[in-house]
Amino acid sequence: GDLDKVVNLLLSISGRLARVETALGSLGPHAPAEDKVALREKQRLLVAQLEDAKELKEHVGRREEAVGAMVARYLPAEHLQDYQHFVKMKSALIAEQRELEEKIKLGQEQLRCLRESL
């Protein structure tokens, strides 16, 4: 459960950071200075949050290793491999699901913009 939460947190912060960086990149030279300052501050906070989330993921990883070592003592080799595969695939699938959700959201936003421009 913690792994799910940490992976979702990392993906969420990364997505928000990417949007802020895109917004910063799209500001023209005549954009108000307060907009740039606000976006840079938001970017700084998100970078700090991302670093904290990475540390949290490392902590969960160490805990996962400890749990894996305990599980290894009680499971036969074939079940242990299934367990390890499950843990690895769960993270990958969560990341893939989040990425697909972001793509859907982006597509819906683009579609809305196209409809408004017509």
Structure confidence by residue, pLDDT tens digits, 17-32 = 988 998 888 887 888 8
81 and 67, same structural domain?
Answer: no
69 and 83, same structural domain?
Answer: no
DSSP state of 30: T
What is the rounded average pLDDT of the residues 85-94?
84
Residue 68 pLDDT more than 90? no
What is residue 95's predicted lDDT score, i.e. its pLDDT?
77
What is residue 5's predicted lDDT score, i.e. its pLDDT?
85
What does the alpha-carbon distance between residue 58 and residue 6 come to, in Å, rounded to a whole number? 10
Say if CB 52 and CB 14 are below 8 A apart. no
Does pTM surpass 0.75? Answer: no
Note down the domain range covering 86. 77-117
**Tally of domains within the chain:** 2
62 and 7, same structural domain?
Answer: yes
What does the alpha-carbon distance between residue 75 and residue 92 come to, in Å, rounded to a whole number? 24
49 and 24, same structural domain?
Answer: yes
Residue 52 pLDDT more than 90? yes
Q: Which of 106, 103, 99 is nearest to 7 (CA)?
A: 99
52 and 10, same structural domain?
Answer: yes
